[in-house]
Amino acid sequence: MEASDETSLSDMIAIKLRNAIILGEIAPGTALVESGLCKQYQASRNTIREALRQLRYEGLIHYILNKGAQVRVLTLSDIRDIYKVRHTLELSAIQHSSLASDRHFETIDRILTEGEEAAIENRWNAVGTSSLFFHHAVVGLLESERLSTYFSTILAQLRLIFAMSSNEKRFQVGWLEKDRRIYAHLAAGQRAEAAEQMQLYLYESESYVSDIVLAYKTR
């Protein structure tokens, strides 16, 4: 296999593992066993190790002596840093939203509708996924592929926090309504109002997930 083929395969595996985390299919503390991943993805150990190195660089996994790679359990320090990124990117995206296409706004509306339907059906994992996708789409208003790709790692880290909640329904209730309110301001071109709502949302969210992390540590 050519080196470029090896690299592209490792990138693909890293993306699949990251997406599995975003979708809530891999929980914090999960061991990522090289032999099992080799079999699952029909890849060499070197390819798997390269994919895991990428996830480690993104802050999604770490290595424990004599145990190997594990999905990280995030800390309060991680949360503070994540929300610094969120404030910077999401508020900037709102400020630049006048340049976004109607198609982009239609995508955001569809994401919210899917989340609302999931809530009616009590699919709370899907509700959480919809909320993550909504905020990813907001950052997408910046129309920067690099920022969008980077924010995917933030989504994966947020999902790890979601998974630390003892009651996902209780955790997710209320956020979709706030997302919808932010979108309504965006769609109406009310950027100042959308930014104000987003800022309040992020402060409230940071406080909430910080409490989840503290509760998780005491279990």
Provide the pLDDT for residue 63: 92
> Token pair 């989340």 is at which residue?
115
Please tell me the pTM assigned to this model.
0.83
Provide the pLDDT for residue 194: 97
Provide the pLDDT for residue 3: 41
Residues 73-119: tens digit of each pLDDT = 899 999 999 999 999 999 999 999 988 888 999 999 999 999 999 99
What span, in angstroms and rounded, lies between the C-alpha atoms of 38 and 19? 18
- The DSSP output letter for 62 is E
Provide the pLDDT for residue 173: 85
Provide the pLDDT for residue 219: 66
Flag residues of the chain having pLDDT under 70: 1-7, 218-219
- Torsion-angle region of residue 123: left (phi > 0), alpha (psi -120 to 50) or beta? beta
Provide the pLDDT for residue 66: 81
Contacts of 194 (CB under 8 A, 6+ apart): 94, 97, 182, 185, 186
Which stretches of the chain are DSSP H helices? 3-22, 34-41, 45-57, 76-95, 102-120, 124-140, 145-162, 168-172, 175-187, 191-217
Provide the pLDDT for residue 43: 94
